Amino acid sequence: MFIDTHCHLDAAEFGADQAELVEAAQRAGVSRIVVPSVERANFATVQALCAQHLGCAPAFGIHPMYVERAVPDDLTVLRDYLALPQTVAVGEIGLDFFVEHYDRARQEFYFVEQLKLAREFDLPVLLHLRRAQDIVLKHLRQHPVRGGIAHAFNGSRQQADQFIKLGFKLGFGGAMTHPRALRLRELAATLPLEAIVLETDAPDIPPVFLARGQPNKPEYLPRIAATLAELRGVSLAQLAQATSQNAAAILPGLFHP
Ligand SMILES: [Zn+2]
């Protein structure tokens, strides 16, 4: 069994093909899919998709690349979604200092407010981090949460160790299938296995075996995992078992709604 800890099932690229997508994933052995949201406008869609499709679990949050159009009242709406029994995490939240013309203060405001909500609801968080690892770590120390997943992790080993110390797992996906991603592959090969969870980030981060322009899909997770198994010298079955156990431990709501 595999768990895709990060898949944007509601993305425009998928049109209305979610049923097919989820069935194909199930057939491939991906039995749980975590669906993060990105802003107030997609909370209801994410909730509805997860209610309709087997094994899909929602997370609710305001993504750093969407804070520009967020208003403080969105946090009140978010609170109602976090109170739903099926919610498994606050996400996707974080800081992105890569995007052009970002408003750092605004991103940090929404990030911190959502960390407070995660604490209040005792929920794990799904973190988006780009060029902001150390600042995210600083905020996590000031506003501790019960842990979560540093999604699409691409920091240093030292930063990875800091996240692990704070109760986080690190999400690995299609990026490590690229032979030239040497630093990331080294990290994926050498981090403690207990710290790793799998994700596709579909439809984004296409693995190397996809033709250019093809969207990533949750059904590709076992093929992505095969790279990691090879890098670590373990069997695919062992890797599936370990990473699923890690995902279940960090997102307890996945199996105990
Ligand atoms: Zn995402």
Q: What is the CATH number of the domain that holds 223?
A: 3.20.20.140
Torsion of CA 23, 24, 28, 32, to 10 degrees: -50
**Model pTM?**
0.97
What is the Å distance from ligand 1's center to 198 Cα?
A: 13
Per the structure, how many domains does the chain have?
Answer: 1
**Residue 166 CA, distance from chain mean position:** 17
Distance 242 CA to ligand 1 centre (A): 23
Contact of 97 with 55, CB cutoff 8 Å: no
What tens-digit pLDDT sequence spans the chain (257 residues)?
A: 999 999 999 999 999 999 999 999 999 999 999 999 999 999 999 999 999 999 999 999 999 999 999 999 999 999 999 999 999 999 999 999 998 888 999 999 999 999 999 999 999 999 999 999 999 999 999 999 999 999 999 999 999 999 999 999 999 999 999 999 999 999 999 999 999 999 999 999 999 999 988 999 999 999 999 999 999 999 999 999 999 999 999 999 998 65
Provide the domain limits for residue 158.
2-255
Helix ranges, the chain (H): 18-27, 40-52, 73-82, 104-121, 133-142, 157-165, 182-190, 221-232, 236-250
The CA 77 to ligand 1 mean position distance, Å, reads 20
User: Can you tell me which residue has the tokens 């976090």?
Assistant: 82
